[in-house]
Amino acid sequence: MKIRQLLHKLDLITRLDASTLEVDIQGIADNSIDVEEGFAFVAIAGFESDGHGYHH
């Protein structure tokens, strides 16, 4: 699925450039340990730590 398609299905507005919107993603992870090549990382606030501190 393209990032553009995912954001559209979630009814989200983005400021990403056109080339980024066309990137294929193979999966989604909310735990940095589970991220694999081609995955999108979704940062959420957790019970013990805030996922926003793990993005690059």
Q: What does the pLDDT profile of the chain (56 residues) look like in tens digits? A: 999 998 888 888 788 899 999 999 999 998 889 999 999 988 777 666 665 566 55
pLDDT for 46:
65
pLDDT for 49:
64
β-sheet bridge partners, residue 42 = none
**CA atoms 38, 54, 46, 32: torsion sign:** positive
Q: Which two tokens stand for residue 7?
A: 């954001």
User: CA geometry: angle at 21 spanning 15 and 22, to 5°?
Assistant: 165
Q: How far apart are CA 5 and CA 54, in angstroms?
A: 25
Q: Which two tokens stand for residue 15?
A: 């400021």
Place of tokens 């193979």: 26
